[in-house]
Amino acid sequence: MLRYGAAALAGLVVAVPLVAAAHWGVVSSCPAPCAEPRGLVGSYLVGDGATPFIYHISRISGSVFSSFAAPGGPGAWGITDAGENGFYLSNNLTSWIYEITKSGSVLSSFKCPLPGPADMGSSWSTRLELTVPDMNVLAIVNPQNGSLVSTFAGPGLRPTSCADYGWRYVADAGTHSVYFKGRLIIEGIESPAGMWGIETIFDTWFRHELFVVDAATKHIFCCHDNVAVIPASLGRIKALFK
């Protein structure tokens, strides 16, 4: 395992002891533009507080392009795509889940069947994949009727964030770690509250790029994973985690 200190990480301005397992590496970070950063999808970040906001940001610099108020009041946490023109937003305090537009208008809502949902992902808008920290549970919920489809135990102690369908990535605030398909890949992120990633295919190699929001240090960490050679015929860039 490789250890990354503050001086070794480009753009890292807080002394966080980070460890990357195998070939994962934390390569940069930027400050979040709010006091209580939570869920992340694409370039949209949830900021909780007395009046929660959703920020359209640069994941590289943390600069804000625009923002709008998040419905539901304090407790805003998870965010994931609801088709091309909107999001699902969870509230950890009230357990309500909202379908909203990209300007914050509420299209529909339902009470989560499990209390205290945190970050979440979606599988082509046909199911929501939730992390439920207080129960150490990953849950599938049908967003059409709010019903609970199934639950699974988290890979650590307190799952707080997930990315990609099928929970390929799960972050856990209890172990301060990120898991890939149940395997530990990154340690030392104190309170991982949100994640989003892309997969990039180059002519001779394939890279996962994962952005992890740390609510404790109020930073967004960029992590890379360089893996096996991929045929050039597959193209150069493929964006996933929609």
Contact assessment for residue 70 and residue 54, using Cβ atoms and an 8 Å cutoff:
yes
Quick: pLDDT tens for 198-209.
877 666 666 788
CATH of 2-234, one of 1.10.580.10, 2.40.128.630, 3.10.180.10, 3.40.47.10: 2.40.128.630
Which residue has 């530990």 as its token pair? 184
Quote the pTM value. Answer: 0.83
In tens digits, the chain (242 residues) has pLDDT values of 223 333 333 333 333 344 444 478 788 899 999 999 999 999 999 999 999 999 999 998 999 999 999 999 999 999 999 988 899 999 999 999 999 999 999 999 999 999 999 999 987 667 899 999 999 999 999 999 999 999 999 999 999 999 887 778 999 999 999 998 889 999 999 999 999 988 776 666 667 889 999 999 999 999 987 644 434 433 333 333 32
> What's the half-sphere exposure (Cβ side, CA atoms, 13 Å) at 208?
21
Using CB atoms within 10 A of its CB, is residue 209 exposed (0-12), middle (13-18) or buried (19+)? middle
Domain ranges of the chain: 2-234
Instruction: Check residue 77 and give its pLDDT.
Output: 98
Per-residue tokens: 19: 């460890």
User: CA-to-CA distance for 91 and 193, rounded, in angstroms?
Assistant: 13
Of the candidates 90, 30, 53, 4, the one whose C-alpha atom is nearest the C-alpha of residue 218 is 30
Distance from chain centroid for Cα 16: 19
